[in-house]
């Protein structure tokens, strides 16, 4: 089965204030994901704070994650960078280390045109030989991939899949249909945005790139399996049960909430990289209450 289908779990990347990855803590986060049977591990995504780590630290994180996964679960690793040559080098590092694929966002300070993004992705794919998932994350990159651009990129060897934010339930089917009509049959379409994932899966999404699964894989796998079996009512019910967590994600960002949840569970004591601040104590208590009430520990 492709590493671009099923449930991809995205953990945080514990690191010191000066950006040194805590590889022991990262292994402790990765091992339960592999044991739970997720379909892939999404290392160094946005929740994994890839943009805040040096190339050397990103390689250390990848080596630790691959070791913790033990070959049981493919690892998809973030390879986004401001410069094309840096992204190529990160993709080459990932391939050399043994990652299954790369996750490439259109990272830029200056807003990019479609043609600039197309050339960037072509250069990284052809320059590395690493299978790549296109990472559409307009909330951080301020660039949105249109179906027509995705269709062009899907013709480039090595560009195999798309991770896009799932829209609201009433538009997700149309979103996926427009993308499916633009790409070859073998090109995989997956979504992020945990609170809309159940509807995206029921509408035909082939992968769920999940932040919550980075700490709570069993709960997310239950939603995925119900959707895959066509059990819409069960998938929606399980998703509704996770509503308090989704509410926290929307209000405070999933990244901040996951750091607080990991601390509450005693899995690591790391804070997000500055200038991102940890959640204030009253909000951390809310996170702890939700985690405990949903029996997610």
Mean pLDDT of the chain: 97
The parent domain of residue 224 ranges over 6-229
Q: Establish how many alpha carbons lie within 13 A of residue 97's alpha carbon, considering only the half-sphere containing its beta carbon.
A: 26
Is 47 inside a domain boundary? yes
> 68 falls in which pLDDT band (50, 70, 90)?
very high
Is the CB of residue 279 less than 8 Å from the CB of residue 260?
yes
CATH number, position 11 = 3.20.20.70
Report the number of distinct structural domains present in the chain. Answer: 1
Nearest to 175 by CA among 160, 191, 161, 159: 191
- Percentage of the chain beyond pLDDT 90 is 98
Q: What is the 8-class DSSP label of residue 230?
A: T
Q: Which of 50, 109, 163, 209 is catalytic?
A: 163
Examine the pLDDT at 148 and tell me if it is beyond 70: yes
Q: What is the 8-class DSSP label of residue 156?
A: S
Q: Which of 50, 52, 135, 259 is catalytic?
A: 135
Antiparallel, parallel or unpaired: β 101-105 and 132-135:
parallel
Is 278 inside a domain boundary? no
Q: Can you tell me the mean pLDDT for 215-238?
A: 98
Known catalytic residue at 135: yes
Examine the pLDDT at 297 and tell me if it is beyond 80: no
Q: Which residues fall within 8 angstroms of residue 18, CB to CB, at 6 or more apart?
A: none
Known catalytic residue at 163: yes
Query: For residue 296, what pLDDT is reported?
Result: 76
Is 115 inside a domain boundary? yes
């Amino acid at each position: 089965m492709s590493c671009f289908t099923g449930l991809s779990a995205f953990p945080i990347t514990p690191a010191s204030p000066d950006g040194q990855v805590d590889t022991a803590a990262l292994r402790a986060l990765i091992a339960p994901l592999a044991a739970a049977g997720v379909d892939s591990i999404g290392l160094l995504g946005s929740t994994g704070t890839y943009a805040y780590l040096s190339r050397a630290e990103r390689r250390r994180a990848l080596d630790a994650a691959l070791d913790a996964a033990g070959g049981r679960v493919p690892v998809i690793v973030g390879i986004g960078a401001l410069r094309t040559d840096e992204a190529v080098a990160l993709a080459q590092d990932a391939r050399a280390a043994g990652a299954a694929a790369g996750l490439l966002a259109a990272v830029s300070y200056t807003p990019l045109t479609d043609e600039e993004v197309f050339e960037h992705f072509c250069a990284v794919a052809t320059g590395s030989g690493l299978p790549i998932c296109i990472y559409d994350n307009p909330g951080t990159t301020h660039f949105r991939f249109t179906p027509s651009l995705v269709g062009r990129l899907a013709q480039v060897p090595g560009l195999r899949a798309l991770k896009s934010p799932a829209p609201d339930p009433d538009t997700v089917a149309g979103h996926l249909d427009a993308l499916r009509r633009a790409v070859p049959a073998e090109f995989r379409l997956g979504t992020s945005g945990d609170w809309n994932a159940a509807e995206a899966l029921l509408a035909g999404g082939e992968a769920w790139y999940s932040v919550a699964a980075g700490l709570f894989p069993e709960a997310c796998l239950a939603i995925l399996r119900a959707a895959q079996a066509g059990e819409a009512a069960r998938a929606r019910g399980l998703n509704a049960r996770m509503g308090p967590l989704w509410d926290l994600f929307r209000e405070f960002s999933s990244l901040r909430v996951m750091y607080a949840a990991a601390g509450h569970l005693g899995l690591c004591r790391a804070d997000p990289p500055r200038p991102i601040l940890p959640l204030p104590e009253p909000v951390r208590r809310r996170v702890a209450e939700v985690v405990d009430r949903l029996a997610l520990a």
